[in-house]
């Protein structure tokens, strides 16, 4: 059973998804299951209109028998009304019960191992790289911020510093074009390797670690100068520069 959809298959799927009901559509792909065709069609966002029922405002859960609003049911692309027949609470209870079974965990890890052994390591590496490239293309700054957060987390672990921040801490990162410390430095969000003008996460007070209110994004140059010397040393250096300023100019 092939994993990846070929270009030819996708073309056929795109052309016929809105014209044929699911059962006839699945016949065009004898290699694949009906459910696999349905999922791919759903992911492409194409619908066969006569198959869709108007979405009800509420329905009765087949499990607990309680009538609940439609948002309390998970989405399901194979159901005519687009939702599961059991409610989210019942679904969660069922899944939790399922994973309590020790046999399930074992079977799952055996399956994962088999899947990983079925392909060369390069295949998975390439797949991960492809995902990264797409995320980078889609939203460069968010990609970079997440990368910085991951690195900060591992630094915090190594240095035994507290780490309790998320993307939410950097609300203005999309508008942050210049280094707040050195306003003449334009931050480059797409540097492949770290350079003076790369954005980096700074701990305002070093020892407090990565906690809310103590982090900001500054250029790597500013960050490096900060971390190479104490505040008192930087002030002394500035004073020294100031004394010699007439010679510089
Ligand atoms: Zn229920």
Tell me the pLDDT tens digit for each residue of 108-137: 999 999 999 999 999 999 999 999 999 999
CA dihedral 98, 101, 104, 109 (to 10 degrees): 120
| CA 40 to ligand 1 center in whole angstroms | 28
Q: Label residue 4 by pLDDT band (50, 70, 90).
A: confident
Rounded to the nearest integer, the mean pLDDT of the chain is 89
| CA 79 to ligand 1 center in whole angstroms | 17
Express as a percent the part of the chain with pLDDT over 90: 61
| CA 62 to ligand 1 center in whole angstroms | 7
| CA 135 to ligand 1 center in whole angstroms | 36
What is the arithmetic mean of pLDDT over 91-115?
A: 92
Q: Label residue 219 by pLDDT band (50, 70, 90).
A: very high
Q: Label residue 248 by pLDDT band (50, 70, 90).
A: low
| CA 87 to ligand 1 center in whole angstroms | 4
pLDDT in tens, 151-188: 999 999 999 999 999 988 998 899 999 999 999 999 99
So what's the pLDDT on residue 242?
84
The Cα 189–Cα 181 span in angstroms is 17
| CA 96 to ligand 1 center in whole angstroms | 14
DSSP-assigned beta bridge partners for residue 69: 58
So what's the pLDDT on residue 231?
87
So what's the pLDDT on residue 75?
87
| CA 102 to ligand 1 center in whole angstroms | 25
| CA 242 to ligand 1 center in whole angstroms | 73
The Cα 242–Cα 116 span in angstroms is 62
So what's the pLDDT on residue 2?
56
| CA 75 to ligand 1 center in whole angstroms | 14
| CA 82 to ligand 1 center in whole angstroms | 17
pTM attached to this predicted model: 0.56
- Residue 223: count other Cβ atoms within 10 Å of its Cβ: 21
| CA 50 to ligand 1 center in whole angstroms | 28
Q: Label residue 247 by pLDDT band (50, 70, 90).
A: low
For every residue of the chain, which 3-state class applies, written as one string?
CCCCCCHHHHHHHHHHCCCCCHHHHHHCCCCCCHHHHHHHHHHHCCCCHHHCCCCCCEEECCCCCCEEEHHHCCECCCCCCCECCCCHHHHHHHHHHHHHCHHHHHHHHHHHHHHHHCCCHHHHHHHHHHHHHHHHHHCHHHHHHHHHHHHHHHHHHHHCCCECCCHHHHCCCCCCCECCCCCCCECCCCCCCCCCCCEEEEECCHHHCECCCCEEEEEHHHHHHHHHCCHHHHHHHHHHHHHCHHHHC
| CA 90 to ligand 1 center in whole angstroms | 4
Q: Do the beta carbons of residue 217 and residue 198 sit within 8 Å?
A: no
Check whether 44 has a pLDDT greater than 90.
Answer: no
| CA 46 to ligand 1 center in whole angstroms | 30
Residue whose pair of structure tokens reads 């430095």 in the numeric block: 185
So what's the pLDDT on residue 47?
74
Supply 190's token pair: 């797409």
| CA 72 to ligand 1 center in whole angstroms | 9
């Amino acid at each position: 059973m092939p994993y990846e959809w070929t270009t030819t298959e996708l073309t056929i799927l795109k052309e016929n998804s809105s014209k044929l009901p699911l059962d006839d559509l699945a016949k065009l792909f004898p290699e694949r299951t009906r459910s696999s065709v349905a999922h791919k069609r759903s992911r492409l966002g194409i619908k066969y209109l006569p198959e869709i029922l108007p979405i009800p405002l509420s329905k009765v859960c087949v499990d607990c028998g309680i009538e609940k609003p439609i948002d309390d049911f998970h989405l399901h692309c194979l159901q005519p009304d687009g939702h599961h027949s059991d409610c989210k609470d019942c679904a969660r209870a069922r899944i939790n019960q399922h994973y309590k079974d020790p046999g399930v965990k074992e079977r799952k890890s055996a399956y994962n191992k088999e899947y990983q052994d079925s392909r060369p390591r390069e295949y998975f590496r390439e797949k991960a790289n492809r995902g990264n490239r797409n995320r980078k293309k889609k939203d460069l700054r968010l990609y970079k911020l997440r990368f910085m957060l991951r690195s900060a987390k591992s630094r915090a672990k190594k240095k035994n510093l507290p780490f309790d921040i998320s993307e939410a801490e950097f609300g203005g990162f999309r508008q942050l074009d210049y280094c707040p410390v050195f306003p003449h430095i334009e931050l480059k969000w797409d540097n492949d390797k770290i350079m003076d003008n790369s954005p980096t996460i700074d701990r305002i007070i070093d020892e407090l670690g990565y906690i809310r209110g103590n982090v900001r994004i500054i250029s790597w140059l500013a960050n490096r100068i900060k971390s190479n010397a104490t505040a008192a040393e930087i002030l002394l250096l500035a004073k020294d520069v100031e004394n010699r300023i007439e010679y510089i100019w």
